Chain A
Amino acid sequence: MSSTEQGTSSAAPAEPTTAPESAAAPEVPESFYYVHGKDKVVHKVSAGALQHSALIHGMISNLGYTEEQAKANPFPFENIDGDILQMVVDWCNQHKGKPTPPEDTNLPKQKEKLFDLVLAVNYLEIKELLTYCCKQVAMMVKGKSPEEIREIWMIPTDAEDEAAEKEAKKRAGKEAAGETAAAAGDAK
């Protein structure tokens, strides 16, 4: 179970609110860690839920933080939007200690959100969720014409790709010329 509160970028985030973990409390007290995304909202997540993320699991496995230390050192994921991180945390909590079902129907339907979720999940190395997300991205274009696929996945046309490539070459040429000029200047 996670709880969130608007945090700050300081090392000591605001106290997050905590909801009951579950009706049946675990016998051994569970350790918790704290994460935040671009929006600095801190999420309290149990170590069990975080096991889904190979990245975070690797980070925490040797830390041996106390509750206070964990609270004082939330993991910053500045490259992940707050709402996306919230989705990830929710998913990890929902699937904590449970076998993952073959399908997940609770993924975002909005394509932009889904695309961002894929990037976040891939970064956090959450294998099962990545599989669901990739399936969902694939399903978005099922039975669509190539033009519809282009629109949905926002794929550039060949002409756009060629123009972008030309532009990149031009830029690289300019940069190389700049470096040569700078080197010549240095030599003088």
Chain B
Amino acid sequence: MIIFKYPKLVQKEILDNMNHIDILLLSFVSKNMKKLIKTSQKKRFESIRAIDYNYDKEYGEAKVYIPDERRPKTSNPEPVIDDLILSIEKRNNALNGYFQLNVSGKIIDFRLSGYHKIPEAYFLGCEKESVIQSIHNHFLDVFGNSMDYNWQSQFWDRPLKGFTPFLPKLKNVSYFVGMILEGHFADVKNFDSFISSSPVLKTIQLLVMAKTEPMNPESKFYDTESIHIHTPMFNGPDFLRHFRGKHIGLNCNRYEKSNLIDFVKRWKSGKSFQNLEFSYIEIRYDNQFLNQILNEIGAKFIDATKQPPTYAVRQRFDWNRKNDTTEPFMSHAYVVRESDNLVASAGIQNNAFFFGVWDKTEEEFLRIVE
């Protein structure tokens, strides 16, 4: 064939003019073609920041996106069709136009669908995980692992009876999971057992819709990098106490003042929350105690005449807005960790207690205030 007779630069220029979907389809044509893609498209792959698997629990199907970072931000954070490169769906016998491809050693049915000719990979019931694993291994092989691979729940807060999140075992993947704590998960043993059988998760969004018992303090749940919990109907257990990750946010009805004071005290001692970067606790009712809480946690205060620094870090709760930051907050109050002298700003804003850890000692922190 001609393309292999072309000089490397011409081959590269041709491939540079193809979109991600066509490159993906081309990678299935032959081993030599895959080799050519891997060598000539290194730069393209290195410029990809993430490959996202968005899993829709209702249909049990995943859509794979390569988000275009150059696109201007919009108010709607949902993925856009232009970024879709592959859909992984249940086999539908009513459709035609299937063709088979060998994907990392597994034969998988495919179709090209719609105006954009989006490739659709199909699985039969029990083969779902192995089909997804083969596709993922192909991605790792072709696109490499310079980008983040994310497995993300979509529309997770739509109730679905008896639903257990589907988390296929995939190499180099971060899992972002949304769950509703109700039904069989209202029994904390079931929830804990699910979490312990899952890989360590990057983010959990939890909507607590049933009264639950506290979880085992050693549960893997608390190792999750970031957790956001919304308990709109009940006074849930204190999820904050045993947290060992980086970001935690609670939106709750009520929260005990003593638990909040204890949280700060334990952070200051350096014995707990060593990984913590950011937390907030929004309390809906009986939140008047927040007005005095900064004194009660033993906060120090920056000179009132000086402008305190604004605290904001990249937010980790909403996986559709990975580039956004946490809600910025400014506070004259701060606390210092005894073990390493690091500072955390503490503040009250809109019935919420905010806590942001700086990578600065007290001396360094006060220097930026000057």
- CB pair A147–B31 under 8 Å, yes or no, is no
Q: Which of B9, B13, B22, B101 has the most CB of A within 10 A?
A: B13
Q: Which residue of A lies closest to B4 (CB)?
A: A155
- CB pair B10–A138 under 8 Å, yes or no, is no
Does A122 touch B at the CB level, under 8 Å?
Answer: yes
A24-32, A56-64, A89-97, A156-164 - interface stretch = A156-164
Identify B1's interface contact among A131, A134, A156, CB under 8 A.
A156
- CB pair A158–B30 under 8 Å, yes or no, is yes
Identify B14's interface contact among A119, A134, A145, A158, CB under 8 A.
A134
- Rounded to whole angstroms, the CA-CA distance of A184 and B30 in the bound complex is 42
Identify B6's interface contact among A118, A135, A155, CB under 8 A.
A118
Instruction: Given the known inter-chain contacts A138-B18, A145-B110, please indicate yes or no for A130 contacting B13, CB distance below 8 A.
Output: yes
Does A143 touch B at the CB level, under 8 Å?
Answer: yes
Residues of chain A in range 37-82 having any CB-CB distance to chain B below 8 Å: none
Residues of chain B in range 1-32 having any CB-CB distance to chain A below 8 Å: 1-7, 9-10, 13-19, 22, 25-26, 28-32
Identify A147's interface contact among B1, B2, B18, B99, CB under 8 A.
B99
- CB pair B2–A115 under 8 Å, yes or no, is yes
Does B33 touch A at the CB level, under 8 Å?
Answer: yes
| Residues on the B chain within 8 Å of A150, using CB | 29-30
Residues of chain A in range 159-185 having any CB-CB distance to chain B below 8 Å: 161
A-B contact count (CB 8 A): 82
Specify the main secondary structure of chain A where it touches its partner. helix
- Rounded to whole angstroms, the CA-CA distance of A155 and B31 in the bound complex is 11
- Contact mask A139-161 → B, CB, 8 Å, 1/0? 10111111101100111111001
- CB pair A137–B14 under 8 Å, yes or no, is yes
| Residues on the A chain within 8 Å of B117, using CB | 142-144
| Residues on the A chain within 8 Å of B18, using CB | 138, 141-142
| Residues on the A chain within 8 Å of B99, using CB | 145-147
- CB pair A155–B28 under 8 Å, yes or no, is no
- CB pair A134–B30 under 8 Å, yes or no, is no
Give 29 CB contacts A-B under 8 Å. A118-B6, A118-B10, A119-B5, A122-B10, A134-B13, A134-B17, A135-B17, A137-B14, A138-B14, A138-B15, A138-B18, A139-B17, A141-B26, A142-B117, A143-B22, A143-B112, A144-B25, A144-B117, A153-B1, A153-B3, A154-B2, A155-B3, A155-B29, A155-B30, A156-B1, A156-B30, A158-B30, A158-B32, A161-B31
- Min CB distance A34 to B, Å, is 27
- Min CB distance B32 to A, Å, is 5
| Residues on the A chain within 8 Å of B10, using CB | 118, 122, 130, 134
Q: Which residue of A lies closest to B24 (CB)?
A: A146
Identify A146's interface contact among B6, B16, B25, CB under 8 A.
B25
| Residues on the B chain within 8 Å of A156, using CB | 1, 30, 32
Closest 6 CB pairs of A and B: A143-B117, A138-B17, A154-B1, A115-B2, A134-B13, A146-B28
| Residues on the A chain within 8 Å of B9, using CB | 122
Instruction: Given the known inter-chain contacts A145-B99, A147-B99, please indicate yes or no for A155 contacting B13, CB distance below 8 A.
Output: no
- Rounded to whole angstroms, the CA-CA distance of A137 and B15 in the bound complex is 9
